[in-house]
Chain A
């Protein structure tokens, strides 16, 4: 099953399926990435993020389904395909004895065009260790080198697999600033992350994966609006005596309650803060114990994929 290539779409995935032995890594996954957008794949450990992105990169052959990237089949049209993409893999990928500067110059020479190395190196803070061997770098430094190598050929579409994992906040900020600048020039960005706040702030579209399937997809703000969740309230158990999850879940504005050892997490619509507050008042507990904040992508995520939370990917 395949589709007509579209000029407006950077990536077209139709009914993608990939199985490793007995494990279904990706199942019946379909989505599209618009040209010039920043697209983010989010999901817990083992959700199939890396498998999906590696099928897009042509590093893995799907068992069934179709993948088109820049209108090309990543495996059948490999020779043309590799000129259009840039890739950052999670694994090492650079000989440990190669110096950073050598890697940059070598990779720049592989492409017909390249972004200015001095600018890339300055923006992503490689200047301090250009003469060091790749094998001697810290995890965050290696990650930055790999990001630069993905961008150096000035690709139409860049695939970044957890680019910001292990980066400090300043480096993450600089990374996203640079990515946004390249995006403004027209580069399409496909990224996996487990930082939901990044996805909300920088990405046009997010795709939530769980157990190899798409749970939901769309612009982050729209997903929050459509979820009906407006706020999250946290109540410490210690202040509430014998309160049970069911008591809170029975309130009309409450969509979901998650009880932990120490607290109740109550998700609901615009009335949830008022209702929970009144409820506490009726029971003689001080409403002052509750902590409320507007619903975030994290909340949608937890409700969609369960309480394990986002971790590394595969």
Chain B
């Protein structure tokens, strides 16, 4: 496999992704719109963050909206958009067609992952720029830790989506399943409203959903949480890291075992 071919594959797949308005809307337009809508309404609510030696730093809801949005953008990509590509390849015999070319099969997984990474970064960059210009948002955390958390949740959701659709041969079925899995996760994660408002049983379900962990992880890290800080789930940040890693690893193993090329 030569580098030119891989580059060409990624560029071509990026073009294909841009021609899928639904996925672009979900991954770029919707998060930006939600960010602005909430930013200009509830964005002014104060969030006091305790620092060492009892110092309290005041952030606002608008500062942290973006981090939560990026959590569910990675979930949309992994659970809805990526399976659309992979299932379409399976449904239309595209994996089979590539298998009789010199392209190694793993490139067909790497390319859409690279495309998804570009889309997530663009979505993040857009919210950052717009948020900085329109809402004067502030960042109180460690950029490397936030980046690591985004990467981890991106990979965990990609593995999850790939595993659950590993044998589906119809893009509509995959889309339906993706939305059925994603929508409750989104609501129960607290991304669209505080989890405290839910009945205890739903809060407990939410505690086990990977999106809740990704959401808490990113919002807390954005405001400067450390490994030991306890999140709304009631566990330290590092536990959510490990939990997402375990979900990702289990799903990778399941994908490898279940995945069908045709």
Contacts and interface: CB of A to CB of B under 8 A. Distances in A.
B5 A91 contact: no
B110 to A, nearest CB: 15
Q: How large is the interface on B (under 10, 10 to 19, 20 to 34, 35 or more residues)?
A: 20 to 34
Contacts of B9: 106
A86 to B, nearest CB: 8
B19 A97 contact: yes
A133 B12 CA distance: 12
Interface in B76-116: 88-89, 92-94, 96-97, 99-103
B148 interface: no
A94 B99 contact: no
B88 to A, nearest CB: 7
A102 B102 CA distance: 17
A110 B15 contact: no
Interface in A67-82: 79, 82
A58 interface: yes
Interface in B1-54: 2, 4-5, 8-9, 12, 15-16, 19-20
A95 B100 contact: no
A107 B102 CA distance: 9
B93 A92 contact: yes
A26 interface: no
Name the residue among B16, B20, B97 with the largest chain A CB count within 10 angstroms. B97
A82 B100 contact: yes
B101 A95 contact: no
A110 B103 contact: yes
B100 A109 contact: no
A59 B92 CA distance: 15
A263 B19 CA distance: 57
B201 to A, nearest CB: 43
A93 interface: yes
Contacts of A57: 100
A85 B101 CA distance: 8
A237 interface: no
Contacts of A89: 93, 96-97, 100
Nearest to A85: B100
Given A95-B92, A98-B12, A58 B101 contact: no
A110 B101 contact: yes
A58 B12 CA distance: 26
B20 A109 contact: no
Given A59-B96, A95-B89, A96-B92, A109 B101 contact: no
Contacts of B93: 89, 91-93
B100 A87 contact: yes
Interface in A92-129: 92-98, 102, 105-107, 109-111
B16 A58 contact: no
Contacts of A91: 92-93, 96
A96 B85 CA distance: 11
Given A102-B15, A106-B12, A92 B92 contact: yes
B95 to A, nearest CB: 9
A2 to B, nearest CB: 22
A95 B5 contact: no
A83 interface: yes
B15 to A, nearest CB: 7
A58 B97 CA distance: 11
Given A102-B12, A106-B8, A110-B5, A82 B101 contact: yes
Contacts of A98: 12, 16
A297 B118 CA distance: 57
A111 B92 CA distance: 23
B102 A82 contact: yes
Contacts of A92: 92-94
Nearest to A93: B97
B16 A109 contact: no
A97 B20 contact: yes
B82 to A, nearest CB: 14
Given A97-B20, A109-B2, A58 B94 contact: no
A153 B102 CA distance: 10
A111 B19 CA distance: 27
Nearest to A96: B92
A98 B89 CA distance: 12
B260 to A, nearest CB: 14
Nearest to A107: B101
Interface of A: 57-59, 79, 82-83, 85, 87, 89, 91-98, 102, 105-107, 109-111, 133, 153
10 contacts: A82-B102, A87-B100, A89-B97, A91-B92, A94-B97, A102-B15, A109-B5, A111-B101, A111-B102, A133-B19
Shortest Cβ-Cβ A-B pairs, 4 listed: A93-B97, A91-B93, A87-B100, A109-B5
